[in-house]
Amino acid sequence: MAFTRLFKALAAITLASSIQSVAAGSSASSDSVCANAGKCVPFSIDLTWGPSDPSKAISRNAILTNGSLPGPPLKLKVGDCVDFTVHNNMPNVTGIHFHGIRQNGTPYSDGVPGVSQYVIQPGTIYQYQWTAEESGTYFYHAHYKGQMADGLYGAIIIAPADDAKTPWGLIDSSAVATLKAASEKVEPVFVSDWNRRTFSEFFAVEQAANIDGACSDSIVINGYGSQYCPSAEFIASQASPLAALVLNGTSLTSKGCFPPNSPITQGGQYLAFQNLAALPDDFYNTCIGYKGANYTTVVDAKDGYKAFSFINSASIPLVNIAIDSHKFWIYEVNGNYIQPQQVDQVVVANGDRISFFVKLDQTPGDYTIRVANAGLNQVFSGFAVMSYKGGNDQVLGIESLNYGNQNTTEIVPFNPALAAPYPPNVPATSADRSFVLDIQKSPQQPTEAWAWTLSGISSYNQTNDDGQVPLLFQDVSQIPASDLILETLDNEWVDLIIKISGPIAEPHPIHKHANKFYMIGAGVGDFNFTNVADAITAGYPFNLQSPPYVDGFTSIPANGNGTWMVFRYQVNTPGAWLLHCHIQNHFSGGMAVAILDAVDNFPKPPSDVGHVCTGTGKSNYPGLNSTLSSGSGAGYGSGSSTNNEGVSTTSSTPAAYTGAASSVTVSMTSLALGLLALAFAL
């Protein structure tokens, strides 16, 4: 049996080698990926397709990574090289993206089929190789169509260099060593929506009914969670007052969602083309309910502080996070240290990673971690538990966030516009090139509510994932001009001016592959300029002194108006990349463009791209001393986290919110507070 498996693996490697060599053709260089393998840390994942664990959350067919969901974390230190091997034992093709990782010199490892690689075929082995250049929290996830929604994701934690400057002294100058120790044991926490349907099934329903789907079944934390079915009265009592205004006399569905025929959220022009008979009852209108377990992390007050990195791997919702009776010291956003902010709540958008310290100074007990959908599209939440050692399972704490994302006390939210890099890091004062992009429903598909464009003209076609020779493997001089392909020159500074059409401007989390950018400005209203210089002359405010430095940012939501935002980045990572919305059905609906960075210095992939090399390196991550064995993910356990079966999770009104409706103090949600600040009125 073992011999048969080995034979198949060797055959797969040989086949992959032949495919890649032929595919590369004249574009391939003589450089070899495997020439570097001896110094690289080996890390392997084994992908299978099968039912998820029914004790944790709704069970359905999903992508299991080394038999689990999420997959095992990869821990490295700045300077480490990794050989990341994928054993595709699924019946489906795939590709793995390393979200936020700068692929300088390794553009063939970005993991986007049709752009930087061919798909990984079923029954084959494929290896990525890259070097950890920047510290922080990142993650690997599927980048073939909407497969991320099927559970393929895992954390990447990169420790800083020994001489790196850290902001610990700005948080607590008397506890620098304690904060450093906590940061070295940071716990990654994935937050996602989890649906009864696979993504391909979900998207097929969306297309058949001709709707822009925005209704999920549940929120899960590290794969654990329940589908709650509270009463209509409870849902209405927890919802934002703005929801009632937008609904204009209609009601939320039994799953807490805006109805699929709402002209405000769907667009009145599409209602005549809907086929709501194609919607299954439980897609919007029937809440089935499911009692799963709650994720529990155990903390020890003796440690002083606990560090978390919350990662939003959701298909649809932006999420707001709070822990009863605990404040956060946010110190890192999207893998970059920031000037710390002490807050009560933080919104984490799709694809973003927010790292923070929690001071462990409360009475030992169990404190609820609340994760609420931060948008108006649906009223629902997920829950986890932070359990102090010695607390005897006693539930304690005062909530600041209800089931519908409304504040129950006065709070300080995280302000992403003030997330200045630490140490200071500024962009160029002007750009060499500007691109104007316009997020809207696809003008070329005027009857299809699910179709989007980022360019303002065409929808990105995800059939490119399957049939197109990857852009990286093409002769860049022969790639036809298109509104879906942007081209830049080496070392230029580029402005991406992104406009979001109204009258309902949804929040769109836009992610750029390859390298980070500076978020220099955003606002509500028209932006009738083709460059930032003219906008500054006209009095528009921009932040060129301390702008956030990130790989993803979310547009301001607006009702009755359009919005805009501007990203500025330096072309210092040549290759073929994507810029896209991280809401998975928006991405699949066409909200993406490709960027060919540095066409005057365009890289040529090595001839052995995807080959399996023999790495023998060791990770320099603090506390990891053993060589990682291929295929095992050795040394990457779940820390102190446990599953607490005693936590109450029901499929009706959450126990944590029984009777809370009468005592809720309505105030502006932290999402609005955080995102409206992005007007950058300096």
At 432-482, the pLDDT tens digits run 999 999 999 999 999 999 999 999 999 999 888 887 899 999 999 999 999
Domains and CATH numbers, the chain: 2-194 (2.60.40.420), 199-284 (no CATH), 296-421+641-648 (2.60.40.420), 433-601 (2.60.40.420)
Residue 680 has pLDDT above 70, yes or no: no
Residue 52 has pLDDT above 60, yes or no: yes
DSSP-assigned letters across all residues of 90-150: SSS-B-EEEET---TT-GGGS--BTTTB--B-TT-EEEEEEE--S-EEEEEEE-STTGGGG
Residue 361 has pLDDT above 70, yes or no: yes
Q: Which long-range contacts (CB under 8 A, 24 or more apart) does 262-267 make?
A: 264/504, 265/212, 265/214, 265/376, 265/377, 265/504, 266/211, 266/212, 266/449, 267/212, 267/441, 267/449, 267/504
Cα separations in angstroms, 408 against 240, 403, 425, 656: 12, 10, 37, 13
Cα separation, 260 vs 253, in Å, equals 9
Quick one: pLDDT at residue 615? Answer: 76
At 373-390, the pLDDT tens digits run 999 999 999 999 999 999
Q: Which residue has the tokens 């080394």?
A: 66
Starting at the earlier edge strand, list the strands of the sheet with 218-221.
218-221, 187-194, 305-312, 353-359, 328-333, 336-343
Quick one: pLDDT at residue 537? Answer: 97
Q: Give me the percent of the chain exceeding a pLDDT of 90.
A: 79
Name the β-bridge partners of 218: 194
Residue 8 has pLDDT above 60, yes or no: no
At 426-446, the pLDDT tens digits run 999 999 999 999 999 999 999
Q: Which of 396-405, 431-440, 636-645 has the lowest mean pLDDT?
A: 636-645
Residue-averaged pLDDT of the chain: 88
Quick one: pLDDT at residue 560? Answer: 83
Residue 221 has pLDDT above 80, yes or no: yes
Residue 7 has pLDDT above 90, yes or no: no
Name the β-bridge partners of 326: 323
Residue 426: Cβ-neighbour burial (10 angstroms; 0-12, 13-18, 19+): middle
Asked whether 643 and 504 are in contact (CB, 8 A), the reply is: no
3-state secondary structure of 292: coil
pLDDT band at 662 (very low <50, low <70, confident <90, very high): very low
Quick one: pLDDT at residue 186? Answer: 98
DSSP-assigned letters across all residues of 172-219: -TT-HHHHHHHHTTPEEEEEEEE-SS-HHHHHHHHHHHT------SEE
Quick one: pLDDT at residue 676? Answer: 36
At 322-355, the pLDDT tens digits run 999 999 999 999 999 999 999 999 999 999 999 9
Quick one: pLDDT at residue 467? Answer: 77
Residue 637 has pLDDT above 50, yes or no: no
Cα separation, 172 vs 168, in Å, equals 6
pLDDT band at 249 (very low <50, low <70, confident <90, very high): confident
Over residues 47-66, the mean pLDDT reads: 98
3-state secondary structure of 580: strand
